[in-house]
Amino acid sequence: MLTVSPNELVAFHERMAAILPEEHFAAWLDPKETRSANLLPLLTPYPAEQMEAWPVSECVNRASAGGADLIKPVEPVPVSPRIQPSLFDAA
- Per residue in 4-15, pLDDT tens? 999 998 887 888
In one-letter notation, the amino acid at residue 14 is E
Domain boundaries, the chain: 3-71
Say if residues 15 and 55 touch (Cβ distance below 8 Å).
no
pTM (2 decimals)? 0.64
Q: State pLDDT tens for residues 28-64.
A: 999 999 999 999 999 999 999 999 989 999 898 899 9
How does residue 91 score in pLDDT terms, banded at 50, 70 and 90?
A: low
